[in-house]
């Protein structure tokens, strides 16, 4: 069993923390896991991408083009930047929340709805989740990323208790309860 998971979002959405959690869950479950990440002006709302590779033995942390098994988009159109990693078997976990770029906010550009709908057809399956709504219902809008992690977790063969244990060890103590609620709701979505 091996998984190549490409996780990406906009700075501040929890992409790096989420990929750390996925790696630690895999390690705790007896697998090797390696990751690498790129922060493109992440502090200013730029793109953040993490490559996560899981297997009995992983030699490189970088996923090759066309080799992603699962892609996780923390923002609705962010996956468009990484289409070169998709193959006919790639699954997509897609947060439906939109963060409008400056060109769209100023009215100079249109949000690429048509392109998004066309590209979604290239995935084997798309699991869409309204992570912001789940986070609001969990009592903390900052836990939206954990709802996305929950949606990813149901695609991977790791025990739910291991996910919860690692989440509890990685998030601030006062947010554990809301993070676990968001994870559980994302897992059921």
pTM over 0.85: yes
Is the pLDDT at 127 greater than 90? The verdict is: yes
Please state, for a pLDDT cut of 70, what percent of the chain lies above it.
97
- pLDDT for 134-176, tens place per residue? 999 999 999 999 999 999 999 999 999 999 999 999 999 999 9
Report the distance separating Cα 80 and Cα 22, nearest Å.
Answer: 22
- Residue 163 belongs to what H/E stretch? helix 160-170
> β-strand 91-95 against 125-129: which pairing, if any?
parallel
- pLDDT for 22-41, tens place per residue? 999 999 999 999 999 877 65
Residues 6+ apart with CB under 8 A from 4: 51, 52, 53, 63, 67, 68, 69, 70
CA distance to 67, 93, 123, per residue, from 88 (Å): 10, 15, 6
Report the distance separating Cα 150 and Cα 93, nearest Å.
Answer: 10
């Amino acid at each position: 069993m091996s998984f190549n998971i490409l996780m990406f979002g906009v700075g501040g959405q929890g992409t790096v923390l989420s990929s750390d959690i996925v790696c630690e869950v895999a390690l705790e479950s007896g697998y090797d896991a390696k990751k690498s990440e790129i922060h493109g002006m992440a502090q200013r709302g730029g793109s953040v991408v993490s490559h996560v590779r899981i297997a009995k033995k992983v030699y490189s942390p970088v996923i090759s083009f066309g080799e992603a098994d699962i892609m996780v988009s923390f923002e609705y159109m962010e996956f468009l930047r990484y289409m070169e990693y998709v193959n006919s078997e790639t699954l997509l976990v897609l947060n439906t929340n939109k963060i409008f770029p400056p060109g769209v906010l100023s009215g100079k550009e249109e949000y690429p709805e048509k392109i998004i709908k066309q590209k979604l057809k290239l995935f084997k399956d798309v699991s869409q989740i309204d992570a912001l709504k789940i986070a609001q219902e969990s009592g903390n809008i900052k836990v939206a990323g954990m709802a996305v992690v929950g949606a990813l977790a149901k695609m991977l063969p790791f025990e739910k208790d291991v996910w919860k244990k690692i989440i509890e060890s990685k998030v601030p103590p006062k947010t554990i309860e809301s993070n676990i609620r968001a994870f559980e709701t994302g897992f059921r979505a």
